[in-house]
Amino acid sequence: MTDRKPRTDDETGRPHLAELRDVETVYQPAADSRLLAEAVIDHTDLDTADQVLDVGTGSGYVAAHIREATGAQVIGSDINPEACRQAREAGVPSVRADLLAPFRTVGFDLVVCNPPYLPTPPEQEWDDPMERALSGGPDGRALIDRLLPDLPRVLAPDGRAFLLVSSLTDPDAVRETAADAGLESRVVAEESHPFERLVVLEFAPATG
């Protein structure tokens, strides 16, 4: 017999979103996805030999746009297996991964990421795929703070990275973490919205 009732979180009694029908479990392209894709296309000179990784690829929107505009070899990774499936359907080869964990030997020419960045108090966290797509922990930088120190390891010597952040996540704090990881940074695109300002940061291994 099948239990048709959605399973609930024991403490809150709320249903897990993933258990509900007709609820999206993969982040669909939004203003942040579009700003990131456009910034990469406008500020890089990729060609068909270049290797690109889209971390947290979601639907594959950013990766597919970069590939279509530049011809570069673009792959995606995501913690959410359903996102990997959607990205593959969009023509983006994708692997399930926690950030950069499985990428050991490849020197990527470009790494892009639109991370979960919304500041979320622990008591408001929901354990479901959309929460993991949106929540950046209490200061919004939980995933960013794990990603940046590992980034130089997977970049080619002249590789670069583009990261979408928000005024809600304190871009200056993000840039300080990047500097501690040996990365130079600059702002390449910004867009204001009613409750936040979206910012695209570019990182490159520090030369000095």
Ligand X SMILES: C[S@@+](CC[C@H](N)C(=O)[O-])C[C@H]1O[C@@H](n2cnc3c(N)ncnc32)[C@H](O)[C@@H]1O
Name the site residues for ligand X (rule: CB under 6 A).
27, 29, 33, 55-59, 61-62, 77-80, 83, 97-99, 114-116, 132-133, 143
CA torsion 116→120→125→128, rounded to 10°?
A: -20
Report which residue type is found at 75.
Answer: I
- 10 Å Cβ neighbour count for 12? 12
CB of 38 to ligand X, least distance (A): 12
CB of 113 to ligand X, least distance (A): 7
CB of 5 to ligand X, least distance (A): 26
φ, ψ of residue 94 in degrees (nearest 5): -140, 145
**Rounded CA gap, 197 and 35, in Å?**
11
CB of 196 to ligand X, least distance (A): 13
Q: Nearer Cβ to ligand X, position 145 or 170?
A: 145
Q: Nearer Cβ to ligand X, position 38 or 170?
A: 38
Q: Nearer Cβ to ligand X, position 29 or 184?
A: 29
Q: Nearer Cβ to ligand X, position 150 or 206?
A: 150
Work out whether strand 196-205 and strand 183-193 pair parallel, antiparallel, or are unpaired: antiparallel
Whose structure tokens read 């500097």?
179
